[in-house]
Structures are given as structure tokens and as C-alpha cells.
Amino acid sequence: MKSLSRREFIKATAASTAAAAIGVSLIPGMEKSVFAGTTTWHKSVCRYCGVGCGVMVGVKDKKIVAVKGDKECPTNFGLLCVKAFYLNRINYAKTRLLHPLVRKNGKLQKASWDEAMDLVAKKFKKTIDENGPDSVAFYGSGQAYTEETYIANKLFKGCFGTNNVEGNPRLCMASAVGGYLTTFGGDEPGGSYTDIDKCDCFVLIGSNTAEAHPVVFERIAKRKAKNPNVKIIIIDPRKTPTNKIADLHLKCIPGYDLPILHAMARLLIKEGYADEDFIKNHVAFSDGKNPMNYEQFKQFIEEFTPENAAKTCGVTPSEIVEAAKLFGQAKTAMSMWTMGINQRIAGVWANNLIHNLHLLTGKIGVPGSDSFSLTGQPNACGGVREGGGLCHLLPGHRSVKKPAHREAVAKIWGISPDKIQPKPGLHTMAMFDGLAKGNVKCIWICTTNPAQSLPNLNKYLKGMEEQFMVVAEAYHPTMTTELADVVLPVAMWSEKEGVYGCTERRSQHLAKCVDPPGEAKWDGEALMMLARRLGYGDKFPFKGPEDTWNEYLTLTKGTDMDLTGMPYSRLKKVRGLQWPCPSEDHPGTEKRFVKGDPLFKGEGKINFYKKPNGRAIVFARPPKGPEEPTDAQYPFALTTGRILEHWHTGTMTMTVPELNRAVPKAYVEIHPDDAKRLGIANKDMVEIFSRRGKAQMEARVIDRPRKGTLFVPWHWREALINLVTTDAIDPGSKEPEYKVCAANLKKA
């Protein structure tokens, strides 16, 4: 080893680490010996998406100098994607905010923490005193750590007495929550990533898995490469890099996929692929209002012949027949979906119809089968869905509407149950509408950028500018901090510890590896500074994240998401644990509702115990298209999404010059036939416009979207596509329909 130069040594280490991730030993022991003695490695989780990849963070001289995939972590076995490649750079970005800012004479100016927090406390107190608690609000994030969301929830719902607590998962995951709750009675998937390794047929619907969840894509692609009989069905209006592994692509019209799912269900029953025993013992039927029986359900779906469905959805009947056949014939099947399904006015219903396919065929609750929603953000499941960080929820999958739930929470919070309002607060779009109308006068925004990410932005920007807005953020400027009255510098990933809960119900501990820069503080501490100033200090005796987590654990005891067996002391050692995990000797639960799940009751093979009679519900939901269909004036269906190199509003990834340069400009994908008809050439500047607003960007003429569809990645502030998108919401989940609106374009 001595003869190796330093560079050769690093190269050998890099190669060995890569080989080790796939279970190959290149130079035995090499990957373990990386800079032994000089670099300290800390166990953590990737900051970007909901896959929840384990990472090891290498620190030398108090700086992060290396990152590697955590080979021991069962979510990724050491593999990462290109975003994690640049993880450390987000900590050392030039736009890191190092001290508080307070707006004085119209300008944000440097201030001390005391000055900033005194002002925030004064404003919140005066507003609550004069206008009542519902005049203030908190808007959090699926990127915040669970402990931070917990503190905010307790302060606003328990101390201030308002349920105006929301988080950006409302914009991406709320329809999935609604789907799980209505179908199964409880939120979050029953299965795990391990199902991928045994799955014979994948339905990827409304998901560009290769770019949005790359490490999950790798696992699917590996499964298929090793087992060529594994089939992959894609249902999506756009051809994406995920198509590299597809057997069948149903390129439907945006917003019109519900009939495809009904037609598949009809064929599965007609052609004998239904599991009649499973249906008899574990399934109930409903039209959404009233129960129905199996025969009535069959009558309901009778009209969804492949021909009828194909006409509405813009695919061919034979594609639908083929999709049903592949799903039916496979021994095991997994459906995976994300924003293409959730960000719709029929988001909950679309979720229900995906679950239907699994319930009708019994392809659920067995290894290799699950109806598995992919989460967008790293802690949308953990912090916001489980932690109760939405306006209708309380920690531990509880509801503000249920007296027993309010009582249980109030007891732990040390408050009167009456302090928690029984009525849900304002959901995200109503909250920002409240700001625009002046009903909400003070808002605390944590780790998110709504001034760029909300749909139909023209309607909401003024309210954000006019009302008192506190933004706790690691960077400045972002579009939201620019509108703020107070900006608080907060610690980033690796500068604080805490817990993330990913897609597969796995809670993982993230270590603090380095100190935050400048005067940046932990978000939890910033919120507690407000609590102390308003007289609620005794409710927050937490010295740090661990105390906070411990209190939160007590609120999960005995619930369906029992985390009692997950104290920091255990989480620091293991690569996460899946709930329910009721005791420290419990291994966690890979599959819910079946033997092995500590809450499983009875003798049958599955028990959907979150439903009163143990039966999951197959829904007869009527087909529902988008809120704003295309017409002569706005003939294009506009759809928005993510690309591999960037993430959400780019607050983090745009601070990394390399990622910014890789895909430097905003662009719209347009089908070559549409471009030809409109005389638009590749790289022409075009203006996209809708009934709400317009945005300019470069045209990318490419055979990816279907004809009549425009696709715009939504990461760029210079080309704000959210001025164009619609804020119509799903009536159940209140999630906006980012995925479809009617638009037009012309040469700029």
C-alpha cells in the first residue's frame, strides 16, 4: 500500500467502495481503511428525496470532506444518485445565511438573534391578542427533521391554540394519504423496498422513477436485468428515462388515466385473474358514499371496456388489454406512483383505483406485492404525516376532530384538551389565500420556498409580501426570504441531529457531523425562543433533538405507528427501523397487516385492522378529468415535474454550480409535430401562457411528451412556471393540480 500515491490510494478506495456496494471485494478491506485515523465517519441519510438512502459523511478538520453510500443501509446498500454526489456542497454554498435579517425601511438588514426574536414575539403576541389564534400560521416542510415539526406542532396547536399548521407535503403527498386512509383505514404503504426484489410486474404510474427516485429505479432495473420475465408497465403522458426498462408504455392524456385503471380492473375480473377468496374474506366495496356489493361493483365497471376507456385516455384498447394481462398473469405485482397521480383534483380517487387492482387480485400483503406510493421528500412521511404536521392531524396518526385523540395529546403536552381546536385549520392553499386576504397576519415558514413552489403564484405573492412573514432558512436569497420580514439562519443537514422517516415507514437517525456556520441555529431552538418569549417555555424543556424525540415517542405508544422501540440510542446503531416497532427488542415491521406485524390479529392471511371490520375497500369512483380541460384557446395540456439534476425550487441544488450548469436553463419539452405546426425550432425562446399567467423559456423539441402536451421542469425562478399552473385542489386531499392545466405557447 505504501507504494501508492495519495491519488492512487483515493482511487483504489473509490473503486473498492463502489465494488463493495454491489457485494464485490476488489481489494479486500480497502473500503474500510479509508483515511483511517484522519477522517471521522458519521451515519446519516441523504437530504434530498423520499427514498431515504443511507450515507456516511466523512469529516476532517471540522469539515465535510467525503460522502459515501452506506453499504449497511437496506434502502440503498451503498448506492446513491447524482444529487447525493454533491451533498456536502449544499453546506458550503456561498448563499448560506450566517446571521438573522430583519426588514428595516423596506430592506433586509443584519440583526442579532435577540432583536429578531423580540420582534417576532411582539408581532405574534399582538396578532393573537387582537385577532385570535387563527390569525397566525406555521408552514413547514418534508425536509425538516421530525423533532422540528413536532415542536412547531406543539407550539401552534397546543400553546397558541390554532390548527393552522401545514407543510409542503400537502402539495405532493396529501392525495396518497387520502388514498391510504380511505382504502385501508391507515396511512402509508404496507410493504417495503424488499418487495421489489420479489416482484414480477411493476406498474409505474405518474412516476418518472429513473429521475425522481433513482435508487429505487436501480433496484427495479436490477430485478428485471436478473429476471428477464419481470414486466414493467408505465402509465404516463411522457416518455422519460424510466422507459429504458419498460415493456409497455400507456402514454395517456394528462389527467385522464382513471378509466384505464377501471378498465384494467374489469378485465382482471372478467379474465379470471381476480382472487375471489381474497375478495370474499378481506374486501368490501363502496361507491364513496354507500357500501355496495361485488356484483354492483362489477356492474359499475362494466362500461369501462378497453375501447371506451381508450377513447377517453388516448391510448389503444390493446395496450389496456396487455397491461391487464401482464398484471394478472404475474405472480406478484407492485404499483408505484408519485406526483403524476397525487397532484390532481382526482388524486385521492386515482390512488383508490390503484389500490383496487391489488385488492381484486390479492396482490398485497405477500412478498413481492404492494400498492406502494413513492414519497417525494426525505421526511414527508416521518415528520409531517406521522408527526401530524398538517392542519387536521395530531402526532401519531391522530386527528384533531376526535376528542380522545385531543385528550391523549393534551395529556402529554401538559395542556387542557380544550386548547386544541376540534376543527381542522387552514390547509396550505387556504392558508396562503388567508395571507392574501389578510385573515392570516403572521406566518412562520420553515425550510421551504412557497413563493416559488405554490401554484397560480400571482394570487399569493402579494399576501406573502404584505403580511408579517418569518422565514427560517439556511440560504438567502430565495424567492421566499426576499419577501420576508425576518429571516432566521438555521442549521442544515449534517449540522444538527434528528430523524427522517422515508417511504417504507423506516425512521433513520441523522448525525450531527459539523457545527453550523456563523450564527445559524437549530430550527427547534428558534421555535423554542419564540415559545419562551410568549410564556410557553415550560412546555419546551428540551435540551435538544433527543429530548424532543423522546417526548414524541410517548405519543406514538399503542398507535398503528408505534415508535416506542426506537430511542436515539438504538437508532444511532441501526440503519433505521420500520414501524410499528413497539419495544426495543422488536425488529420492526417489514410488512403490515400480516403475520409478523405486532398489530395483526386473527388467523387469516391478512387483516386490514385499521378498518372496523378488517376489510379494505374497493372503490367505484366515477371517472374525473382535470379541472381545466384543453380548449381552442388553450389547446395544450401543461404538466410540470422534476429532473434528475435538480430538486424542487432549486434552493439547495441551484447553490451547487455544477448541478446548475449541467441543466442550466429553464426549458419546455414540446412534441416535434406540435413544434412544426407552430413554426417553433429547437432552442427557440417561447412564451407559455394560461388563464393565470405566463413564463418564458427555451423550447426543447423532443419526442418525449405526447402530442398536445407540454412538460416544464419547475426548478427555475427566472422562468416561473407556477405563474401558469392552476391552484384547483382535490376536494378530499386539498392537493393542487400541478400536473395538468390548459395552456398555450407562442414564440417569444
Q: Which of the listed partners (another protein, ligand SF4, none) does 222 bind, with a CB threshold of 5 to 8 Å by partner kind?
A: another protein
Q: Report if residue 650 touches another protein, rule: CB under 8 A.
A: no
Q: Backbone dihedral region of 110: left (phi > 0), alpha (psi from -120 to 50 degrees) or beta?
A: beta
Q: Report if residue 644 touches ligand SF4, rule: CB under 6 A.
A: no
Q: Report if residue 66 touches another protein, rule: CB under 8 A.
A: yes
Q: Report if residue 659 touches ligand SF4, rule: CB under 6 A.
A: no
Q: Which phi and psi (to 5°) does residue 672 adopt? A: -55, -35
Q: Which of 83, 154, 496, 694 is catalytic?
A: 83
Q: Report if residue 26 touches another protein, rule: CB under 8 A.
A: yes
Output the smallest distance, CB 330 to another protein, in A. Answer: 21
Segment lying near another protein (by CB under 8 A), choices 220-228, 276-284, 447-455, 616-624: 220-228
Output the smallest distance, CB 595 to ligand SF4, in A. Answer: 31
Q: Which of 81, 339, 442, 581 is catalytic?
A: 339
Size of the site for another protein (CB under 8 A): 55
Active site residue 376: yes
Residue at grid coordinates 416482484: 199
Segment lying near another protein (by CB under 8 A), choices 100-108, 199-207, 213-221, 686-694: 213-221
Q: Report if residue 207 touches another protein, rule: CB under 8 A.
A: no
Q: Report if residue 347 touches ligand SF4, rule: CB under 6 A.
A: no
Segment lying near another protein (by CB under 8 A), choices 3-11, 171-179, 196-204, 481-489: 3-11
Output the smallest distance, CB 53 to ligand SF4, in A. Answer: 3
Contacting residue, 133, 167, 179, 214, with ligand SF4 by CB under 6 A: 214
Element (H, E) at 104: strand 101-104
What is the C-alpha separation between 169 and 173, in angstroms, rounded? 5
Pair 136, 164: CB distance under 8 Å: yes
What is the C-alpha separation between 444 and 136, in angstroms, rounded? 8
Tell whether omega for the bond before 580 is within 30 degrees of 0, i.e. cis: yes
Q: Backbone dihedral region of 23: left (phi > 0), alpha (psi from -120 to 50 degrees) or beta?
A: left
Q: Which of the listed partners (another protein, ligand SF4, none) does 51 bind, with a CB threshold of 5 to 8 Å by partner kind?
A: ligand SF4
Q: Report if residue 24 touches another protein, rule: CB under 8 A.
A: yes
What is the C-alpha separation between 513 and 497, in angstroms, rounded? 8
Q: Between 223 and 266, whose beta carbon lies closer to ligand SF4?
A: 223
- Helices 317-329 and 306-313, interaxial angle, to 10°? 120
Q: Report if residue 113 touches another protein, rule: CB under 8 A.
A: no
Q: Report if residue 64 touches another protein, rule: CB under 8 A.
A: yes
Active site residue 654: no
Q: Report if residue 78 touches another protein, rule: CB under 8 A.
A: yes
Active site residue 172: yes
Q: Which of 173, 513, 697, 741 is catalytic?
A: 173
Q: Between 79 and 483, whose beta carbon lies closer to another protein?
A: 79
Output the smallest distance, CB 503 to ligand SF4, in A. Answer: 10
Q: Which phi and psi (to 5°) does residue 644 adopt? A: -55, -45
CB burial class (10 A; 0-12, 13-18, 19+) of residue 325?
Answer: middle
Q: Report if residue 495 touches another protein, rule: CB under 8 A.
A: no
Which residues does 386 contact at the CB level (< 8 Å), separation at least 6? 146, 187, 188, 395, 396, 397, 501, 556, 561, 563, 579
Active site residue 53: no
Q: Report if residue 10 touches another protein, rule: CB under 8 A.
A: yes
Beta bridge partners of 333: 201
Q: Which of the listed partners (ligand SF4, another protein, none) does 48 bind, with a CB threshold of 5 to 8 Å by partner kind?
A: ligand SF4
Q: How many CB atoms lie within 10 A of CB 33?
A: 14
Segment lying near ligand SF4 (by CB under 6 A), choices 209-217, 447-455, 722-730, 734-742: 209-217
What count of Cα atoms within 13 Å lies in the side-chain half-sphere of residue 371?
Answer: 24
Q: Which of the listed partners (ligand SF4, another protein, none) does 150 bind, with a CB threshold of 5 to 8 Å by partner kind?
A: none
Active site residue 377: yes
Pair 208, 713: CB distance under 8 Å: no
CA–CA distances in Å: residue 623 to residues 180, 237, 304, 626, 741: 19, 17, 10, 10, 17
Q: Report if residue 83 touches ligand SF4, rule: CB under 6 A.
A: yes
Q: Which of 365, 376, 501, 693 is catalytic?
A: 376
Q: Which of the listed partners (ligand SF4, another protein, none) does 7 bind, with a CB threshold of 5 to 8 Å by partner kind?
A: another protein
Element (H, E) at 427: none
Active site residue 81: no
Q: How many CB atoms lie within 10 A of CB 18?
A: 16
Q: Backbone dihedral region of 397: left (phi > 0), alpha (psi from -120 to 50 degrees) or beta?
A: left
What is the C-alpha separation between 740 and 641, in angstroms, rounded? 11
Helices (H) and strands (E) in the chain, counts: 24, 29
Contacting residue, 151, 152, 210, 394, with another protein by CB under 8 A: 210
Q: Report if residue 48 touches ligand SF4, rule: CB under 6 A.
A: yes
- Helices 258-270 and 347-361, interaxial angle, to 10°? 10
CA–CA distances in Å: residue 443 to residues 150, 722, 734: 17, 21, 20
DSSP 690-727: -SS-EEEEEEEE-S-BPTTEEEEE---STT-GGGTS--
Contacting residue, 12, 20, 59, 80, with ligand SF4 by CB under 6 A: 80
Which residues does 382 contact at the CB level (< 8 Å), separation at least 6? 146, 499, 500, 501, 502, 507
Q: Between 179 and 214, whose beta carbon lies closer to ligand SF4?
A: 214
Question: x/- contact string, 659-698, with another protein (CB under 8 A)?
Answer: x-xx------------------------------------
Which residues does 172 contact at the CB level (< 8 Å), separation at least 6? 142, 338, 339, 342, 343, 375, 376, 377, 380, 735
Could you tell me how many residues make up the chain?
748
Q: Report if residue 98 touches another protein, rule: CB under 8 A.
A: no
Tell whether omega for the bond before 477 is within 30 degrees of 0, i.e. cis: yes
Residue 707, amino acid: K
- Cα-only R_g, the chain: 25
Pair 156, 165: CB distance under 8 Å: yes
Contacting residue, 49, 84, 144, 454, with another protein by CB under 8 A: 84
Q: Report if residue 84 touches ligand SF4, rule: CB under 6 A.
A: yes
Q: Between 164 and 379, whose beta carbon lies closer to ligand SF4?
A: 379
Q: Between 72 and 307, whose beta carbon lies closer to ligand SF4?
A: 72
Output the smallest distance, CB 510 to another protein, in A. Answer: 18
Q: Between 398 and 642, whose beta carbon lies closer to ligand SF4?
A: 642
Which residues contact ligand SF4 (rule: CB under 6 A)?
A: 46, 48-49, 51-53, 76, 80-81, 83-84, 213-215
Which residues contact another protein (rule: CB under 8 A)?
A: 7, 10-11, 13-24, 26, 60, 63-69, 78-82, 84-86, 88-89, 92-94, 210, 214-215, 217-218, 221-222, 225-226, 241, 244-245, 645, 657-659, 661-662
Residues forming the active site: 83, 172-173, 339, 376-377
